[in-house]
Amino acid sequence: MKLLNLLRRALFNAIDKYINIDDGSADELSGQLGIFTNARLLGFDGSKWQRLRCDEDKHLLTAVEKVKGETSGTITSTSFVDVLTIDISKYRYVSIHVRNKASSENDMVAHCYVRDENYYFYHSVFADTTISVDGYVAKGAIRILGQRLIVSIKSSTGGKVDYYISYTLEK
């Protein structure tokens, strides 16, 4: 400790002209000289090293600008079945593509909507859209507001429906 005080006096010519930062803050100090130690965690994202940060809930905060995903499956229900539910709270735009594959035996009906966490807010992206065998419906770069994007599908007559869904979320 004495060595550090001697160093501070030598550099700043007085003991009260320095500031010590020990909280690991990323904040910059303006107009004050100081000696401090700062550590940062870094992670490799596939192309470069990025600083790791946490959000307000202490979860790892990611700075991904665009997320792509897909899912597929088979249903035979004549009632709507939720086949995709994704958290969209950190994104502003969504593009979605729903296809009734050529291997299907039947037309399908698709419904895509956005809800908030408490189910008070509801917004339909496309509603009760009939998609014939080997047909699709697509919506691109829609501005969204809500917590969850949900895609529901049903078979129009109870026969086998093979579906494929791809989506892109953007900040």
Distances (CA, A) of 92 to 74, 118, 149, 163: 30, 19, 12, 26
Alpha helices in the chain (DSSP H): 2-12
Q: What are phi and psi of 101, to 5 degrees?
A: -65, 160
Secondary structure letter of residue 52 according to DSSP: -
**Contact between residue 100 and residue 136 where contact means Cβ atoms under 8 Å apart:** yes
Q: Distance between CA atoms of 167 and 72, rounded to whole angstroms?
A: 12
Domains of the chain: 2-61 (no CATH), 66-170 (2.60.120.510)
Supply 57's token pair: 């809930």
Q: Distance between CA atoms of 92 and 85, rounded to whole angstroms?
A: 16
* Residue with the two structure tokens 């035996």: 105
Tell me the sheet residues that pair with 62: none
pLDDT reported for residue 153: 92
Q: Is the dihedral of CA 141, 111, 165, 82 positive or negative?
A: positive
Cut 0.85: pTM above it: no
**Averaged in consecutive runs of 10 residues, what is the pLDDT profile of the chain (171 residues)?**
65 54 50 59 76 72 76 91 87 88 86 74 77 86 79 89 91 80
Nearest to 43 by CA among 69, 64, 65: 64
pLDDT reported for residue 71: 92
Q: Distance between CA atoms of 9 and 39, rounded to whole angstroms?
A: 25
